[in-house]
Structure 1
């Protein structure tokens, strides 16, 4: 069964919109959606409220979507620890310093949202057209909500992050480049988050992460920050300037120049 999603809709009023999305992404459009299908692994589904990635099967998990208004993201915005969060420290946020950040493995935009919440201008780069579509939908929905001012600091781009970084003019270089490459796991237990399973099936592993790190180090003005599982090796064996370690993850910081 192919992991490539099929586009569909659960809302008749959005049928034409779903057809256009399928055409844009070069994906098959399904006239009818069967969530217990044995021939479709997952749907990119336009519901009445959002664009979601929905796996199929009788024991399917809930939908995966970009959500900046409710749930875990909202809780983290309100109670997540502000500038004391590891990602904030790793990216150099302190006092009045709010660096420009390029999150070049944007995913569903959660790390980018945290940084934008803390006042950073954040460029989000996502190369998977499907994940990019989910993220664009989430940003569009949140732009008319109570977090509109935060969303205004988030700027979405599509394509290969290596090409995007290399195309930047000198004046456009971000002070910080943030990387969170997909880490290979064979474990498919319940502990693995549903979106991680969906993404892994969709985009595979980031086999070019060593090249991406090299380009990031060329382009970043002040530092490159790499999010890793706590016991994972450094990318390409390249030791960082220093590390910040948490219970399950860590940040490898490659310091290039002082942030100001």
Structure 2
């Protein structure tokens, strides 16, 4: 990803920096691998850089700039909302569990091919599923890899061991699988475009939208997923959003703010 420039002066969309001297070499290497600019001393308040990928002693984070900037975005599988959901989220009664066919002792193999920060994949792994995570944005992949590495040395290490991260385009990754590698369930959560007049969007969604844009190839991804999945494809959507262009889902599960469109291909207990 290269820096962007405006006619009125250079404006860099994203750069890499470190918050402590000990991590400067790490940040330089990361900037080189991602083909991003490196900044020696980041200025988060008054900056021509819109977002920083910051190497901090605690984690790799994505940080917007400006005086009223939101907090940092990071992949966290140990604390905060993820920990609360792991402990009190409802287990197999959660809508995502029902959508993916988790019931009784059945734990299908799942590919989450729009991994993002890995929260849905973590829920599925918490419930006992082996989950492949595919993320095509190199920056988001770096955040996710950092979160998984940190969590691998924590009380959720056994859950993290069931999460397997891959980098690359989901369409290409799915097409590359051999017949015996095909997942039973493919989970999709494509970026849904929001208008500027929509309700307040979570800070990570704003950051991601600026970073990766909308998933304009979601119809193609659904078509490929339907070809590759052994048993079902599950699509996460905003509650009032239309289904992805293509075949109509077999059925849907609807919650207060979101829903799951399920494309049933074969009985999960008939494998």
Sort the TM-score into its range (normalised by shorter chain). Answer: over 0.9
**How far apart, in 2, do the equivalents of 1:188 and 1:150 lie?**
39
How do 1:217-232 residues align onto structure 2 when only pairs under 5 Å count? 217-232=226-241
Which consecutive residues of structure 2, in runs of 5 or more, have no partner in the other structure? 1-5
Report whether the alignment pairs 1:195 with 2:204.
yes
Instruction: Give deviations 1:144-191, integer Å, cap 9, x for gaps.
Output: 000000000000000000000000011110000000000011136672
2:158 to 134, 149, 152: 149
SS of equivalent to 1:44:
strand
Which among 24, 29, 33 is matched to residue 24 of structure 1? Answer: 33
Task: Tell me how far 1:5 sits from its aligned partner.
Answer: 1.4
Q: Is the 8 A contact 1:179 1:227 kept in 2?
A: yes
Instruction: Check if 1:87 corresponds to 2:65.
Output: no
Q: CA deviation at 1:36?
A: 1.1
Q: How many angstroms apart in 2 are the aligned matches of 1:253 and 1:99? A: 15
2:180 corresponding residue in structure 1: 171
Give the CA RMSD over aligned residues. 1.2
Alignment of structure 1 residues 32-43 onto 2, 5 Å: 32-43=41-52
Residue 89 of structure 1 aligns to a residue in which SS?
helix
- The corresponding residue for 1:161 is 170
TM-score of the two chains, using structure 1 as the length reference: 0.98
Contact 2:219-2:246 at 8 Å conserved across structures: no
**Which segments of 5 or more consecutive residues in structure 1 lack a partner in the other structure?**
none
> How many angstroms apart in 1 are the aligned matches of 2:205 and 2:216?
16
Distance, in Å, in 2 between the alignment partners of 1:149 and 1:24 is 30
User: Does the 8 Å contact 2:223/2:246 carry over to 1?
Assistant: no
Match of residue 3 from structure 2: none
**1:182 aligned partner:** 191
Question: CA 1:41–1:178 in 2, change beyond 3 Å: closer, same or farther?
Answer: same
Number of residue equivalences: 260
Q: What SS is found at the alignment partner of 2:245?
A: helix
For 1:210, the equivalent position in structure 2 comes to 219
How far apart in 2 are the matches of 1:240 and 1:14? 48
8 Å CA contact retained: 2:17, 2:27: yes
Moved more, 83-92 or 38-47: 38-47
The one of 56, 62, 72 equivalent to 2:71 is 62
SS of residue paired to 1:102: strand
TM-score by length of 2: 0.94
